[in-house]
């Protein structure tokens, strides 16, 4: 338990409601709140107001107790343990994304690798702008996936195809990103429904197609949670069915419930999302997402 929110409220005479196992609800000090809209997340020590959005925990405490941020950090020490979400730090982003040297159309080996994984390289080039890196630099030989947000190239991720690299996936360096890829969701520009399917990686998104978003691994960020809550009303979490993947899926569901979102964890009984055949993947998206199609895509 990173944040003992209930004890904190009791010790500081703050009225609260226990809305779920993972959330404590109090009145938000930043808006005209009469119904305890501010949620304190117990598992990851962050806050969110259903009305005015997320706030940094020390700032919330400082405002409620009328003390400084530095004092609030000290007050919080006895109630905090483990991992907690830190204040969003300002990053120095690049003006534009520059691809690695020798990046261009995929070569024969890269295309054959995708075909072995049951993907159509031509379709991936058209739908997702997938590229290949040649024989130069630290990304050499990899498949490169551009990452867009609001139709602007913000970053990229690469995938090793040799099976010899210690890192299957390597993303663009932080200093070369226009916006941090872990603050975004892969494929969100192609989601035009208020319902979405959340998967781990870009290959899972490709398998499901438009209507799915990826978190670039199971370690999702608080910014990705906020993006999901602001853009979608119903969320299906479709992580890999191993123990670690399902644990993270449950953590995400708990975070989303705290924002008042309808969400459900789904699984592929025969493997991971990428293990589905194209017909079954299309049927899944059609049944969960397409039938709820809407044009009300909210940009952040």
Q: Give every strand in the sheet of 195-199, ordered side by side.
A: 212-214, 195-199, 234-237, 262-265
Provide mean pLDDT across the span 119-127.
96
* pLDDT tens digits for range 57-87: 889 999 999 998 888 888 898 898 765 555 5
Provide mean pLDDT across the span 13-40.
84
Q: State the alpha helices, DSSP H only, in 21-68.
A: 57-65
Prediction pTM value = 0.71
Provide mean pLDDT across the span 121-139.
95
Q: Domains in the chain, please, with CATH?
A: 5-79 (3.90.580.10), 103-182 (3.90.980.10), 188-292 (3.40.1360.10)
Distance (Å, whole) CA 65 – CA 269: 50
Helix (H) or strand (E) holding 266: none
Percent of the chain with pLDDT over 70: 92
Tokens found for residue 206: 């490709």
pLDDT of residue 184: 93
pLDDT of residue 115: 97
* pLDDT tens digits for range 227-273: 898 899 999 999 998 888 899 999 899 888 877 788 999 988 888 89
pLDDT of residue 95: 87
Tell me the torsion sign for CA atoms 291, 294, 299, 300. Answer: negative
Provide mean pLDDT across the span 134-147.
94
Q: pLDDT tier at 91 (50, 70, 90 boundaries)?
A: low
**Averaged confidence pLDDT in the chain:** 87
Of 85-99, 196-210, 284-298, least confident by mean pLDDT is: 284-298
Name 3's bridge partners. 80
Percent of the chain with pLDDT over 90: 52
Highest mean pLDDT among 40-44, 155-159, 221-225, 252-256: 155-159
pLDDT of residue 83: 55
Do residues 203 and 212 make contact, with C-beta atoms less than 8 angstroms apart? no
Tokens found for residue 178: 């226009």
pLDDT beyond 50 at 191: yes
Q: pLDDT tier at 133 (50, 70, 90 boundaries)?
A: very high
CA atoms within 13 A on the CB side of 33: 21
End-to-end, the C-alpha distance of the chain in Å comes to 31
pLDDT of residue 160: 95
DSSP β-ladder status, 53-55 and 103-104: unpaired
């Amino acid at each position: 338990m990173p944040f003992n929110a209930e004890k904190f409220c009791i010790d500081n005479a703050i009225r609260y409601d226990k809305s779920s196992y993972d959330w404590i609800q109090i009145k938000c000090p930043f808006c005209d709140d009469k119904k305890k809209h501010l949620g304190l997340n117990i598992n990851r020590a962050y806050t969110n107001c259903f009305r005015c959005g997320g706030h940094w925990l020390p700032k919330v405490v400082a405002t409620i107790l009328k003390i400084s941020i530095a004092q609030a950090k000290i007050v919080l020490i006895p109630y905090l343990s483990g991992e907690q979400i830190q204040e969003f730090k300002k990053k120095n982003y690049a003006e534009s994304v520059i691809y690695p040297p020798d990046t261009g159309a995929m070569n024969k080996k890269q295309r054959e690798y995708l075909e072995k994984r049951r993907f159509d390289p031509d379709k991936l080039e058209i739908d997702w702008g997938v590229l290949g890196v040649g024989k130069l630099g630290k990304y050499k030989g990899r498949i490169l996936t551009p990452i867009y947000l609001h139709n602007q190239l913000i970053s990229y991720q690469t995938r090793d195809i040799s099976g010899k690299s210690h890192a299957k996936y390597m993303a663009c360096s932080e200093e070369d990103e226009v916006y941090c890829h872990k603050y975004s969701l892969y494929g969100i520009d192609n989601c035009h429904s208020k319902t979405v399917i959340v998967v781990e990686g870009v290959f899972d998104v490709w398998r499901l197609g438009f209507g799915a978003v990826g978190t670039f691994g199971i370690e999702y960020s608080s910014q990705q949670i906020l993006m999901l809550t602001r853009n979608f009303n119903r969320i299906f979490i479709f992580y890999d069915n191993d123990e670690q993947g399902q644990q993270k899926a449950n953590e995400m569901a708990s975070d989303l419930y705290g924002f008042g979102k309808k969400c459900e964890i789904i699984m592929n009984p025969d493997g991971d999302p990428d293990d589905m055949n194209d017909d079954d993947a299309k049927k899944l998206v059609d049944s969960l997402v397409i039938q709820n199609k809407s044009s009300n895509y909210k940009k952040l």
